[in-house]
Structure 1
Amino acid sequence: MQDQNHPFFRPLWRRIVLVAFCAAWSVFEFATGSPFWGTLAGGMAALGAWQFLIAYKPGSDAAADKE
């Protein structure tokens, strides 16, 4: 997740779906008895939530896309 300002991540719904998918994957892994993979997916969800929802700053040309 080096390029969080990639144009693909501009719409909020895509960022939310990405984080929700990782969180759901984590729950699935814990439910099936795989704590290692559940922890790994949970970490991905936490990192994604931080990068794409909390600390996300849209690029300078994002304002031009709204017009």
Structure 2
Amino acid sequence: MPAKKKTKIQTRERYSRDDIKALKAHSKARTPIAKVAKTMKRTPAALRAKAHQLGIGLGEARRI
């Protein structure tokens, strides 16, 4: 009988003050969302949700 695969438990990592500062800096610099996601090790959807909570735009092609 083959061994069962372990399932990975997903946990939500809190945003530190440094993460929020970096997100605001990327917003101001209009860095593409995919690049920000790689550097911060978060999904683009998570970053968009946090940016929305903070009331800032995110990505290079955003409308004001």
CA radius of gyration, larger in: 2
Between Structure 1 and Structure 2, which shows a larger proportion of helix residues?
1
